[in-house]
Chains A and B, each alone.
Chain A
Amino acid sequence: MYRRIVSKGKAEYFYLHVTLEFEDFEDVPVDAIKFKTIIVDALQGLFGLAGASIPADILKFHQPKRSAVLRVPSSGFVKLWSSLTLLGTCMGRRCAFRVHQVTPHLMALSANSREWQL
């Protein structure tokens, strides 16, 4: 009856909870497709075509806040994260990606005790 399976080391996918912020807090309309393009451009800018081929999925996109949950295979995880961090401008505006949470377990993204306000 009893089984215990321990998986350690590399996970198949990594999940990131990110928000795109613009410097002047302007309401820049960004839809999911545009968001994905920005991410692919960021990857291409830093790692070239090989970077652009990293399959970063947008699992969830919240348009008003421009926040998203991304999924990326663990081999491309560091590349994705670094490209997001180093991205400074998109569509001619200064912007930044805030990476709120990073996890190999998608479940962990449903709660963030760091952003808990009492």
Chain B
Amino acid sequence: MAVTFTCPASKLVFERSCFLHKNSRHVTNVLEHHFNYGVDILIPDCDSIPLHLTSLMVNSRFFLTERLPLAILIDKEFVEAFVKKGKLYMLSYGTAIDRDNCVAIVPPGILILNLTKDTYQELGLVGKPTVFQKKLPTKYVVEINLTEEYFTPGKNYYERVKWCLTDRLGLVFDFLVAWLPHEDQISQSSVPAYLCNKGFRSRAFKVSEEITFKKDVKYPVIDSNDFDGHGEGGNSDNDCPITSSTKYDEQKKGGTKSDGQLKSGDFLCSYTEFWEWLGAFTCGLDCDGSPDDFLSTFSCPDPVSISPSCCQCKYRGFILPGTINCLIESLRDYMKSSTSPWACVTVHGFTDSPVSWRRNEHGHHKGGENLYTFVLFPSEDYWLYMAVGTHDICPP
């Protein structure tokens, strides 16, 4: 066909590293991804999930404050009490990043306003046009550092911001609020309590949980060292091949680790195939298609292993990066004592968050996805997938 349509670009970063390595960035990668909507855990060969893993997630709470004016957020009292101490995460709820104004607060106290062109031109705060549209931008990003020394009442800049947010446009949003206190004695709910005093109602929510066990699951065999599907020379992703000597070493190690199931020369599942399978399994897809099936030609990549029981947990809510970090630490402990060949933690970011990692601007474009997956191995090695949509800056 003569007409070809360009499809939107996708970005996937794959990293293989070890938790024990001194330069391993797994903690920063988790902590820098601020707004997490969901966590999916998948552990094969597991018939009961340890309670301390689940309680960690279930006990985390978050709040929804309705119709909160932005002027409250720059209030000196609020900034001193919650923004400068502890870690405050706030995200506007029910706003679409490609259509509406979105607002977020990320530690350390940066207020990010992702505004539409009309609002930006009326508001009167200087920002930058979105990085995704070079010509005729329709979105603008204003960043205000609430913790800056000059950001105090009486100073010009503060008064200007305050005037813009109160007198010019009384911007009001519903906010998801979660706060990590700096001291253990202080309750998480002091933020909503403070807001309640000011006359803004908050509702508390718990992270929703859904645990399912699946019987006799076919899953692909992977090896932490052999991520590129050893033997597949024509793999296009393999743009910088490992030198042959290291590859042989890894293969030997891999052979011993997988309990002699594999003979050298077997084609293992590559990281891209595994990523697709993992997605399919998490979405609850049927992976038994045959290549000539009318409906679907998708099937579980070879070689497969069968797990008698597979544990799958789904958490949905406004989950703090710190909680996820704890979860990964606990899973590492768990992996040391379990028989599972690997465990997966997938973290989905909010589609409509104004930032993905760090303060990198996030956009929607077609999908707005920003997520990462950790595949943990008993050997403390890990694989990390970081996937974002077209309108996103490549993860760190």
Contact = CB atoms under 8 A, between A and B. Distances in A.
Q: Does A touch B (CB under 8 Å) in the complex?
A: yes
Interface stretch (B135-143, B150-158, B257-265, B272-280): B272-280
A20 interface: no
B15 interface: yes
Interface in B258-293: 271-272, 275-276, 278-280, 282-286, 289
Nearest to A40: B294
Interface in A57-82: 57-61, 69, 71, 74-75, 77-79
B63 to A, nearest CB: 10
Interface stretch (B1-9, B70-78, B109-117): B1-9
B285 A107 contact: no
Interface stretch (B161-169, B184-192, B212-220, B364-372): B364-372
Contacts of A79: 5
Nearest to A13: B276
Contact of A118 (B93, B239, B298): B93
Interface string A1-13: 1111111111111
The 7 A-B pairs of least Cβ separation, nearest first, read A106-B279, A104-B10, A78-B5, A107-B279, A108-B369, A11-B10, A111-B38
Given A74-B7, A77-B7, A111-B316, A2 B294 contact: no
24 contacts: A2-B17, A2-B24, A3-B14, A12-B272, A14-B7, A36-B295, A60-B284, A60-B286, A75-B4, A75-B7, A102-B366, A103-B366, A104-B10, A104-B367, A104-B389, A105-B387, A106-B283, A107-B278, A107-B373, A107-B387, A109-B283, A110-B346, A111-B371, A116-B37
A38 interface: no
A107 B367 contact: no
B357 to A, nearest CB: 14
B6 to A, nearest CB: 7
Given A5-B237, A112-B351, A78 B6 contact: yes
Nearest to A103: B367
B133 interface: no
A55 interface: yes
Contacts of A7: 10-14, 237, 272
User: For chain A, which range describes its interface: under 10, 10 to 19, 20 to 34, or 35 or more residues?
Assistant: 35 or more
A108 B4 contact: no
Contacts of B272: 7, 12
Contacts of B31: none
Contacts of A69: 283, 285
A55 B291 CA distance: 11
A109 B279 contact: yes
Contacts of A107: 275, 278-279, 282-283, 346, 371, 373, 385, 387
